[in-house]
Amino acid sequence: MLVVYVILLAISVLFYIMYVGSFSFYLMVFLFSMPVILFALNVYISRKLKISFVQPMHKAVGRSAVVLEILVENPTIFPVANLEIFIEHQSAIESKNKNNITKINLPLISKESQSLKLNIASIHLGKIDLKINKCRVYDFLRLFKFKVRGKAFEDALRETILFVYPQYSLMENTVSDYSGYGIESDEYSPDKKGDDPSQIFGLHEYIEGDKPNRIHWKLTAKQDQVMVKEYSHMMTYAVHIFVNLNTGSAKEYDAVIEGALSVSMMLTDRGIAHSMMWFDKASKSIISLNIKDEDDHYECADLLIRSKTYIDAEARIYPFTSQSEQICCGHLIVFSSKLDEKDIDSISTSGCSARYLFAFAKTDDEPQTDITTQENVGIIYIRKDHISEAFSDIVF
C-alpha cells in the first residue's frame, strides 16, 4: 500500500502542475496531509480499543475442542482496517522454553463489539497458559502501525488458562488389603465396616457366626434380644502414589499423569483410601493429598494438573528420596520417566513400603530395558492411551 500511496502522490503533483485550478490543489493537499490524519487516528484508536478473554479458565479432556472466546470492543466512530492480535500459549512442560504465538487478523466496525471464537484442542495434558501478548492497529494504507496501549486494554482480562485432563483408562485389577500397613488416623469410612473396635460402625441382631466378643451386652439387656456391634474401618491410606514431574518430554508427562489419575480413580471406585504425592515447583515442596472419595480425587487432579514439570538431571526422583523415611504404606506406586538402578534401589530399600511398583513412561521409539529387582518390587512400562494394557497383570 505504501507503493500505491507514493504513486497517487506523484500523480497528484503532476496533475497540479499540468492543470490549473482549485481541485488539483486540494487533491494534492489532501494526499500530502493523509499520513498526518492517519497517524493521528491510529494513535487515538490504539488507546481506545479493548481486547479481552471472556472467561479466565477453561477445562477440557485431551484431544477434545474447547471454545476460546475473545471480545474486541471499538468504542470510537472510526473503523479499523486491520487489527493484529498475538496470542501466546505455553504448556506445562519445562523444556518448552519458546512460547508458541498465534496471530489473528480482523477488521473492526466503528462503535461495535465483536466476539471472536476459536476452537482449541490439545493432544497433550496439563496446564496451558494463554495470553493476549500484544495487539497492533494498522491504518487503511498500512503506512503506520501502533500497539494497543490504552487503559481499557491494560485493565482487560488478557490471560486465561486451559486445563487439559486425561481420558481415564478402565482398570479392573485386584486390590490387596493393606489396612495394617498404613499410618493410623482418626478418620473412619462412612460406608465401609472394618475391624477397628475404637469406633462402632453399626449394630445388628445376632446371626450365626458372629463373634461373642462383639456382643453389645448393655443394649442386649435393654432390648431383650442379642445385638452385635459392627466395628469401623479406619482410613489408613495404605496405598501411596508418587508422581514424578521431573521430565522435559510431553509424551512422558502425558503417560505419567494419565497413569497416576487412572489408578487413583480405580482405587477410589473400589473404596480404597490412598494418598497421592508430587513435588510442586512453584512452592518448592512435596504436596501430599489423602483421597477417600471422588470429591477428593477431582480436587487432587485439579492441583496435579496445575503443577508444572521441572528438570533436575542430578536427581531424577528428588525430593522423594529425601522424605521417604516419613512415608509408611503397604504399596508404593511411582509414576515417572525412566530411572536408573541407583534411584530404584534407593526407594525400594528405604523400608517405607511393603511393596513397590515403578511405572515408567515409555515413548514409542524407546527400547524397553529390564532391570533386576527384588521380589517385592515390580517394574512396568506405560504409554498414553495404553494404561489398562500395561497394568493388566498387576495386583495392587
Sign of CA dihedral 31, 33, 36, 41: negative
| Residue 36 per-residue DSSP state | H
Report the mean per-residue pLDDT for the chain: 79
Question: For the ranges 77-81, 87-91, 241-245, 327-331, which has the lowest average pLDDT?
Answer: 327-331
Question: For the ranges 42-46, 110-114, 201-205, which has the lowest average pLDDT?
Answer: 201-205
Report the predicted TM-score, pTM, of the whole model to 2 decimal places: 0.73
CA distances from 376 to 121, 178, 332, 349 (A): 41, 14, 11, 10
pLDDT (tens digit per residue) in 342-372:
888 888 887 777 888 999 998 765 555 555 5
CATH number of 46-165: 2.60.40.10
- Does residue 298 register a pLDDT over 60? yes
Yes or no: say if 225 and 205 are a contact pair by the CB < 8 Å rule: yes
Yes or no: say if 135 and 51 are a contact pair by the CB < 8 Å rule: yes
Strand order in the sheet with 66-74: 50-53, 66-74, 112-120
DSSP string of 172-234? -------TTTSPP-S-EEEEEEEEEEEEEEEEEE--TT--GGGB-HHHHHHHTS-EEEEEEEE
pLDDT at 276: 92
In angstroms, the CA 120 to CA 130 distance is 11
- CA R_g for the chain: 32
Confidence of residue 324 (pLDDT cuts 50, 70, 90): very low
Yes or no: say if 219 and 203 are a contact pair by the CB < 8 Å rule: yes
pLDDT (tens digit per residue) in 2-28:
666 666 667 766 666 677 677 776 667
- Does residue 187 register a pLDDT over 70? no
In angstroms, the CA 328 to CA 237 distance is 9
Using the structure block, give the residue that is written with the C-alpha cell 443394649.
219
CA distances from 175 to 189, 272, 296, 396 (A): 17, 8, 20, 5
- Does residue 260 register a pLDDT over 60? yes
> At a CB cut-off of 8 Å and minimum separation 6, what does 317 contact?
244, 246, 334, 336, 339, 343, 346, 347
pLDDT at 392: 84
Domain 239-390 has CATH 3.40.50.410: yes
In angstroms, the CA 117 to CA 67 distance is 6
pLDDT (tens digit per residue) in 118-147:
888 888 888 888 999 889 998 877 788 889
pLDDT at 258: 92
CA distances from 180 to 139, 176, 183 (A): 74, 11, 8
Q: Where do the structural domains in the chain lie, given as residue ranges? A: 46-165, 188-234, 239-390
Yes or no: say if 219 and 298 are a contact pair by the CB < 8 Å rule: no
- Does residue 224 register a pLDDT over 80? no
